[in-house]
Amino acid sequence: MKKQIFLMMSLIAILAVNSFAADKVIKLPAPNRKGGKPLMAALDERQSKRNISAAPLNRQELSDLFFAATGVTRKNGKLTIPTARDARSMILFAAMPDGLYRYNPEAHQLELEQPRDFREFTGTQKKMHTTAPVVLIYVSDNERMKRVNIPESGFTKYGAFHAGSMSQNVYLYAASANLSTVVCGLVEIDKLAIEMKLPESHRIQFTQPIGRK
Ligand SMILES: Cc1cc2nc3c(=O)[nH]c(=O)nc-3n(C[C@H](O)[C@H](O)[C@H](O)COP(=O)(O)O)c2cc1C
């Protein structure tokens, strides 16, 4: 009997620990495709806001945010952003307090890459970056561009174009949802790439913290 009680207590302890650990997959609800402010109002309100609190975003906000950044809009898998030769060459990471996640647009879910807080590496404006509940990291994948015959001389240019489209979508979503965000080029990208264990073919473009005021 004592042994059974001990086993049961151990099981409860394991479950409790696991419930605090990072989720391996964060399945996002369907994005709110009809909601938000009218486009012209969102454009009018788009601006960089650096005052970001630690309050977490809820699942619906995360869903709408990642859909805006690079969600799938059509049956053929095409996205909210245009990409050269339909390369779909961007990988969107999210540094959150419990881990580094990668957005999977087809499955519309966040997949855990590493269960630790990367936010301190995501920008030199440390206070903002370590407080924001989500810091987006825009990474372009040169291999995917190569696959669709984009010449190597175009990798830098197209990587920046694609990341620019995504960050503007995020700005507009933030304006529409009354969130604060700013795109950040002040990032030690080589250091961040090492921490993220990115392969040579992956290039960090910039980061973008986002959260409530
Ligand atoms: C490529 C790029 C890099 C930027 N880097 C930073 C940055 O590292 N830190 C920051 O606070 N703002 C950064 N910004 C935001 C600009 O300062 C901001 O867009 C500009 O002041 C205009 O303000 P607005 O976005 O409110 O119109 C960056 C903007 C761009 C487009």
3-state helix, strand, coil in the chain (%, to 5): 40, 20, 35
Instruction: Walk across the sheet containing 99-104 and list its strands.
Output: 25-27, 109-114, 99-104, 90-96, 134-141, 202-211, 180-181
Span 122-144, mean pLDDT?
98
pLDDT of residue 11: 54
Q: pTM of this prediction? A: 0.91
- Closest atom of ligand 1 to 47 CA is 26
Q: Does the CB atom of residue 193 touch ligand 1 within 6 A?
A: no
Check if 47 has its Cβ closer than 6 Å to any atom of ligand 1.
yes
At residue 104, does pLDDT exceed 50?
yes
Cα separation of 209 and 151, whole Å? 32
The pLDDT tens digits of the residues spanning 46-89 come to 999 999 999 999 999 999 999 999 999 999 999 999 999 999 99
**Residue predicted with more confidence, 170 or 22:** 170
pLDDT of 41 over the 80 cut: yes
pLDDT exceeds cutoff 90 at 202: yes
Residue 19 has pLDDT above 50, yes or no: no
CA of 142 to the centre of ligand 1 (A): 25
Q: Which amino acid is at 44?
A: D
Distance from the CA of 165 to the center of ligand 1, in angstroms? 14
**Burial of 194 per CB tally in 10 Å (0-12, 13-18, 19+):** exposed
Q: Which pLDDT belongs to residue 8?
A: 60
Mean of all residue pLDDT scores within the chain: 93
**Closest residue CA from atom 21 of ligand 1:** 48
Listed by start position, the domains of the chain span 23-211
For 37, the token pair is 């402010």
Residue with tokens 């990409």: 83
| Alpha carbon distance 6, 17 (integer Å) | 17
Asked if residue 185 has its Cβ within 6 Å of ligand 1, the reply is yes
Domain 23-211 has CATH 3.40.50.620: no
Mention every residue, 6+ apart, whose C-beta is less than 8 A from residue 145. Answer: 84, 85, 87, 89, 154, 155, 158, 159
| Cβ atoms within 10 Å of 61's Cβ, excluding its own | 20
**Cβ neighbours for 52, distance < 8 A, ≥ 6 positions apart:** 128, 131, 132, 180, 181, 209, 210, 211, 212, 213
- Name the residue with higher pLDDT: 22 or 174: 174
> In Å, how far are 4, 44, 79, 86 from 76, measured between CA atoms?
54, 32, 9, 11
Give residue 5's pLDDT: 56
Distance of CA 139 to the CA centre of its chain: 10
Residue range 138-180, pLDDT digits in tens:
999 999 999 999 999 999 999 999 999 999 999 999 999 999 9
